[in-house]
Amino acid sequence: MNTAAENDLASETPRLHIILYEPEIAANTGSIGRTCVAVGAMLWLVRPLGFHLDDRHRRRAGLDYWEHLNWRVVDHIDEVVAVVGRDHLWSFSTKAQASYTRAVYRAGDGLVFGPESRGLPLSWISSPENRLVRIPIRPEARSLNLANAVAIGAFEAVRQIELPGA
């Protein structure tokens, strides 16, 4: 899906890609879109989506930021891999061992997040080609809200990318 904003921003190289694999909640996606605008990231939505793209909750959460968002909807995550490159993807999972702060992020990297109710599929996280990281949390909290997890990962990646000499 091409949007006017996407066409306007297509010539810009995003410093980061945020990939939502089968997102389920419109309001989370709206908030994540707002975060992407704030950090200069492109948002990828991998179908199926758990909401309609015109959902009022997505619009409300994204407020007037959505028009500034560089975003694309694709049918399969392999379409993202073909553009970004597997060696530029960091997959966030509660099943990962390495902390997201130990990763070395570079401009153009992509952060992959699974759906709110189940996370990334086992077929994805079990692939030796995928670099897995986790956000350390206490066991009493099974996981974080998706929008919060994306913000934590995105701002750490941007912090590293913007370090002098990076």
Contacts of 13 (CB under 8 A, 6+ apart): 108
Q: Any binding-site annotation on 117?
A: no
For the entire predicted model, the pTM comes to 0.89
| In the chain, domain spans | 4-161
Please tell me the class of the 4-161 domain.
alpha beta
Q: Any binding-site annotation on 114?
A: yes
Q: Any binding-site annotation on 99?
A: no
Q: In whole angstroms, what is the distance from residue 81 CA to residue 86 CA? A: 5
**Element (DSSP H or E) covering residue 73:** strand 71-74
HSE-CB for 152 with a 13 A CA cutoff: 17
pLDDT tens per residue across span 21-49: 999 998 899 899 999 999 999 999 999 99
**CA torsion angle 72 93 159 19 (round to 10):** 0
CB atoms within 10 A of CB 111: 25
pLDDT tens per residue across span 61-83: 666 788 899 999 999 999 999 99
